[in-house]
Structure 1
Amino acid sequence: MSRQRWTSDDVPSQHGRVAVVTGGNTGIGFETAKVLAARGASVVLAVRDVDKGKQAAARIADAYADADVAVLHLDLASLASVRAAAAELRDTRAGIDLPINNAGVMYTPHMTTVDGFELQFGTNHLGHFALTGLLLDKMLRVPRSRVVTVSSAGHRQGGPIDFDDLDWKTSTYSRVAAYGHSKLANLMFTYELQRRLAGKSETVAVAAHPGGSDTGGSRTSVSLQPVYFRALFALVRPLLIQPAEMGALPLLRAATDPDVQGGQYYGPAGFQESKGLPKVVKSSARSYDVAAQRRLWTISEDLTGVTFPVR
Structure 2
Amino acid sequence: MTNWNATDLPDLTGRTAIVTGANSGLGIATTEALARAGARVVLAVRDPERGRAAARAVQGSTEVRRLDLADLASVREFAESWTGELDLLINNAGVMAIPESQTKDGFETQFGTNHLGHFALTNLLLPHVTGRVVTVSSGAHRRTKGIRFDNPNLTGEYSPWSAYAQSKLANLLFTLELQRRLAASGSPVRALAAHPGWAATNLQGRSGSAVLNKLMAIGNRFIAQDNHAGALPTLYAATQDLPGASYVGPDGPGEMRGGPALVGRTAAASDPAAAKRLWTLSEELTGVTFPAKVKTPK
Report the TM-score when normalising by structure 1.
0.89
Which of 98, 101, 106 is the equivalent residue of 1:111?
101
Query: In structure 2, do the counterparts of structure 1 residues 221 and 270 end up closer, same or farther at CA, with 3 Å as the change threshold?
Result: farther
Whole-angstrom distance in 2 between the partners of 1:218 and 1:270 = 21
Alignment of 1:279 with 2:265, yes or no, is no
SS at match of 2:13: coil
- Give the structure 2 partner of residue 210 of structure 1: 196
Alignment of 1:252 with 2:245, yes or no, is no
SS at match of 1:59: coil
Post-superposition offset of 1:260: 1.6
- Give the structure 2 partner of residue 185 of structure 1: 170
- Give the structure 2 partner of residue 72 of structure 1: 65
For the Cα contact (< 8 Å) 1:110–1:175, is it kept in 2? Answer: yes
Alignment of 1:48 with 2:46, yes or no, is yes
Gaps spanning 5+ residues in structure 2: where? 294-298
SS at match of 1:266: strand
Aligned residues: 292
Post-superposition offset of 1:32: 0.3
- Give the structure 1 partner of residue 182 of structure 2: 197
For the Cα contact (< 8 Å) 1:150–1:186, is it kept in 2? Answer: yes
For the Cα contact (< 8 Å) 2:248–2:262, is it kept in 1? Answer: yes
Post-superposition offset of 1:235: 7.8
Post-superposition offset of 1:226: 5.2
Whole-angstrom distance in 1 between the partners of 2:159 and 2:281 = 22
SS at match of 2:56: helix
Whole-angstrom distance in 2 between the partners of 1:37 and 1:153 = 27
Which of 160, 166, 178 is the equivalent residue of 1:175?
160
SS at match of 1:198: helix
Post-superposition offset of 1:234: 3.8
- CA RMSD after TM alignment: 2.1
Q: Which moved more, 1:96-105 or 1:193-202?
A: 193-202
For the Cα contact (< 8 Å) 1:120–1:178, is it kept in 2? Answer: yes
Whole-angstrom distance in 1 between the partners of 2:224 and 2:207 = 13
Whole-angstrom distance in 1 between the partners of 2:128 and 2:183 = 17
- Give the structure 2 partner of residue 27 of structure 1: 25
Which of 107, 118, 122 is the equivalent residue of 1:132?
122
SS at match of 1:46: strand
Gaps spanning 5+ residues in structure 1: where? none
Post-superposition offset of 1:5: 3.0
Matched AA of 2:245: G
SS at match of 1:43: strand
Post-superposition offset of 1:214: 0.8
Whole-angstrom distance in 2 between the partners of 1:69 and 1:5 = 28
Whole-angstrom distance in 2 between the partners of 1:235 and 1:15 = 37
Whole-angstrom distance in 1 between the partners of 2:137 and 2:71 = 20
Query: In structure 2, do the counterparts of structure 1 residues 83 and 242 end up closer, same or farther at CA, with 3 Å as the change threshold?
Result: same
Matched AA of 2:198: G
Which of 158, 164, 175 is the equivalent residue of 2:144?
158
Whole-angstrom distance in 2 between the partners of 1:129 and 1:236 = 30
For the Cα contact (< 8 Å) 1:151–1:208, is it kept in 2? Answer: yes
Report the TM-score when normalising by structure 2.
0.93
SS at match of 1:212: coil
Whole-angstrom distance in 2 between the partners of 1:122 and 1:267 = 24
Matched AA of 2:141: H
Query: In structure 2, do the counterparts of structure 1 residues 219 and 213 end up closer, same or farther at CA, with 3 Å as the change threshold?
Result: farther
